[in-house]
Amino acid sequence: MIEPQHRRLFVTLFSLFAVYGTSFTIIGATLPKILADFKWSYLAAGIVIGAGAVAYFVFTYAAGHLVKRYGPRTVFLLGLGSIVAGLAFFATAADPLSNTVLSAVIGAGQGCIEIGVNWTTLRIDTRHSGRPMNLIHGAFAVGAIAGPLAVSVLIASDIGWVLVFRGIAAIFALLAVVVVLTPLPDAGSEETAEAGAAEPAHQSAAYWLAFGALLLYVGVELGVSNWVAEYFSRVFAYSAAAGAFLVSVFWFGVLAGRFGIPLLYKGERHGRLLIAFSALAAGALIALTLLGYAASSGTPAGVGQVLVFLVGLGCSIYYPTVITLIGKCFPRAQSQAVGFAATGGGIGAFAFPFVMAWLAEEWGIKAGFIFYATFAVAMTVVAARLASAAARTGTQSADAPVIPVHDNQQG
């Protein structure tokens, strides 16, 4: 599925995105312990998580322009430096203020890595198959599983759970060295491709629908990932360690879809797959929410674990498929289009935790999951409209040129 000349680069991107995935899930996995040990309210936790999301969406937008001007290497190193600095000190003190600042530093780095990896993967997917993008985002799921598992082990063994943040910071520092030594696409390659573009990307409906799709999706995905441990702890009386394991169950479902679809599906009807899997996620999340209200009647919590897996499976191809569709629609403006769509995801990651924290504080965590189920339905509706708009836009777009990958002297 990966052309031979791109495999070394793909391994680097895969490794980077796997560790990147851990940085998105370990805060959610440790949330029950953070709330208990630091005596935070749901609102304080929402502010800390939201700060990272604000920095994330600001830097996804900025990185979409930086990668075109300076090349992916500069964007990668800026992101890695920020993440290392943030994770090295996060949760060293209990006060929410310092952790809010550190969360923002981590989010800024995450925004840079997101755009750098997505842009580079689009440049090496010269056949527009979408398979490299699914595999790369499968790497994200690998890390998203490994992080909560590590947290669960540390909690169960009474070893300091904060060590997981320091360990991942050290791995990111090593990856910065790998990025320096890896050949990357030229920053100028997209400028050549953009010459003679027929119309600005922002005049297309697909451009805005991709923004809306990722706004809803990332809010739902990270919302479930960040709060499912607390949901099962409160509703089904799970321990903190068992709750952290549920985060891994969710991401295992994501992993199954992101690796399984490229292997099993060889067609090109990305839009139809997007709609079908989004509907699966919405249906499973609705069922999980209803199960929470039925918990007192003796419904086995094991059913909830299956539903968490199905939510993850339904979410699995949403993000990579949206990025693939938008990259195919705008081959002459990929950095701009991908950056803008990812900014929508960052806004969703910022806004949803505040709403969830307020609902959980005022009405209970079950009410918060009604909120996520509602927006899961909305993201399915937007996915259907995006698939239709992308089909129309794609027929009007010229194929992107084959871009050779070699060492980028600018970055």
Residues in contact with 328: Cβ distance below 8 Å, sequence separation at least 6, in sequence order: 128, 390, 394, 397
Domain span at 295: 7-189+200-391
Q: How far apart are CA 232 and CA 211, in angstroms?
A: 31
Q: Could you tell me if 83 and 109 are in contact, meaning their C-beta atoms sit under 8 angstroms apart?
A: yes
Answer yes or no: is 165 within a domain: yes
Answer yes or no: is 67 within a domain: yes
The proportion of the chain whose per-residue pLDDT surpasses 70, expressed as a percent, equals 89
User: For the segment 181-230, what is each residue's pLDDT rounded down to a tens digit?
Assistant: 998 887 655 544 444 444 566 667 888 999 999 999 988 988 888 788 88
Answer yes or no: is 398 within a domain: no
Answer yes or no: is 285 within a domain: yes
C-alpha distance from residue 262 to each of 6, 123, 268 (Å): 17, 18, 11
Answer yes or no: is 400 within a domain: no
- Residue 25 binned pLDDT confidence (cut-offs 50, 70, 90): confident
pLDDT higher than threshold 80 for residue 411: no
Answer yes or no: is 399 within a domain: no
Q: How far apart are CA 85 and CA 183, in angstroms?
A: 25
Task: Single out the residue of 251, 256, 255, 257 nearest to residue 273, CA to CA.
Answer: 257
Structural domain tally of the chain?
A: 1
Q: How many CB atoms lie within 10 A of CB 315?
A: 31
pLDDT of residue 349: 76
User: For the segment 326-335, what is each residue's pLDDT rounded down to a tens digit?
Assistant: 888 877 778 8
Answer yes or no: is 46 within a domain: yes
CATH value at residue 151: 1.20.1250.20
Answer yes or no: is 384 within a domain: yes
pLDDT of residue 406: 42
